[in-house]
Amino acid sequence: MLRRDLYVTWRELPAFLAQVILQPLFMLFVFGKVLGSLGLTKHHYAELLFPGLVALTAVLTAMQTLAFPLVAEFGWTKEIEDRLLAPMPISFVAAEKVLFALLRALVATLIMLPVGIVVLGSIPWRWSGVPLFVAGLVLGALVGAGFGLLMGTLVQPQRINLLFSLVFTPLLFTGCSQYPWPSLARLRWFQVVTAANPMTYVSESLRGALVPTVPHIRPWICLLVLVFAVCVLMAVGVRGFYRRAID
């Protein structure tokens, strides 16, 4: 099954790349480059923005890879039926979807590194931060996949537009990708809101890995919260998947 998904992705590579690169590319360009050049942001803003956008890409790519095809497959193309009738546990079909989303998210974030160098001139990078960077990335992608699984099995196909406005946008802007969380102390209520979004801990852990001089939530707290979030989202998501798969 994974081979089928990789096969289809490979044949639609340009579309895949456009889908995963375009949004962070523009964000990097506008927030990192344009605003900086105009003197509207301080010089180091691009440095703290970059890890946040990597986090955003990991979470959103994984989420989109899962949610949209799943809504369509359960809703109208019914393509998933042939997989559900394969001689393997239903949970394997869900696991394959998650694994595939993880792979796509990791590829998308790896592409962000050279893109960042091209757009910004240089990116913050510490070799000693790589283990934390990878851990945050993988957990972030799994969080995204968990959200995707949840939405893909809960959302009715007619409501797919609502998914965008009611779920994607808030997740996108409350995930601390554009600002470090401790700096929100001046905006207390918003700090509380963002603390409820698991993506915040992805952004903060990547910042801890790449730009530790910027104040950030302690990495072990981030990783702990993320592991917990992954467990909860997966448990609920897989249950939703079963409900859709079997009457």
The closest alpha carbon to 201, from 189, 186, 182, belongs to 182
What does the alpha-carbon distance between residue 240 and residue 74 come to, in Å, rounded to a whole number?
Answer: 12
Span near other proteins by CB under 8 A; candidates 39-47, 81-89, 115-123, 140-148? 81-89
Q: Is 185 in the site for other proteins (CB under 8 A)?
A: no
Q: Between 184 and 238, whose beta carbon lies closer to other proteins? A: 238
Q: Between 2 and 187, whose beta carbon lies closer to other proteins? A: 2
Q: How far is the CB of 247 from other proteins (least distance, A)?
A: 4
The closest alpha carbon to 197, from 172, 179, 175, 217, belongs to 175
Q: Is 2 in the site for other proteins (CB under 8 A)?
A: no
What does the alpha-carbon distance between residue 210 and residue 225 come to, in Å, rounded to a whole number?
Answer: 19
What does the alpha-carbon distance between residue 160 and residue 142 come to, in Å, rounded to a whole number?
Answer: 22
Q: Between 80 and 176, whose beta carbon lies closer to other proteins? A: 80
Using an 8 Å Cβ cutoff, are 208 and 216 in contact? Answer: yes
User: Which tokens is 4 given?
Assistant: 């089928």
What does the alpha-carbon distance between residue 214 and residue 50 come to, in Å, rounded to a whole number?
Answer: 12
Q: Between 42 and 243, whose beta carbon lies closer to other proteins? A: 243
User: Which tokens is 82 given?
Assistant: 């042939």
Q: Is 159 in the site for other proteins (CB under 8 A)?
A: no
Q: Is 247 in the site for other proteins (CB under 8 A)?
A: yes
Among 88, 113, 118, 130, binds other proteins (CB under 8 A): 88
Q: How many CB atoms lie within 10 A of CB 17?
A: 13
User: Which tokens is 209 given?
Assistant: 């890995």
What does the alpha-carbon distance between residue 5 and residue 57 come to, in Å, rounded to a whole number?
Answer: 20
Q: Between 14 and 89, whose beta carbon lies closer to other proteins? A: 89
Q: Is 246 in the site for other proteins (CB under 8 A)?
A: yes
Span near other proteins by CB under 8 A; candidates 35-43, 86-94, 161-169, 227-235? 86-94
User: Which tokens is 163 given?
Assistant: 């998914």
Q: How far is the CB of 98 from other proteins (least distance, A)?
A: 18
Q: Between 5 and 47, whose beta carbon lies closer to other proteins? A: 5
Q: Is 83 in the site for other proteins (CB under 8 A)?
A: yes
What residues line the site for other proteins (CB under 8 A)?
Answer: 1, 3-4, 7-8, 12, 77-79, 81-89, 245-247
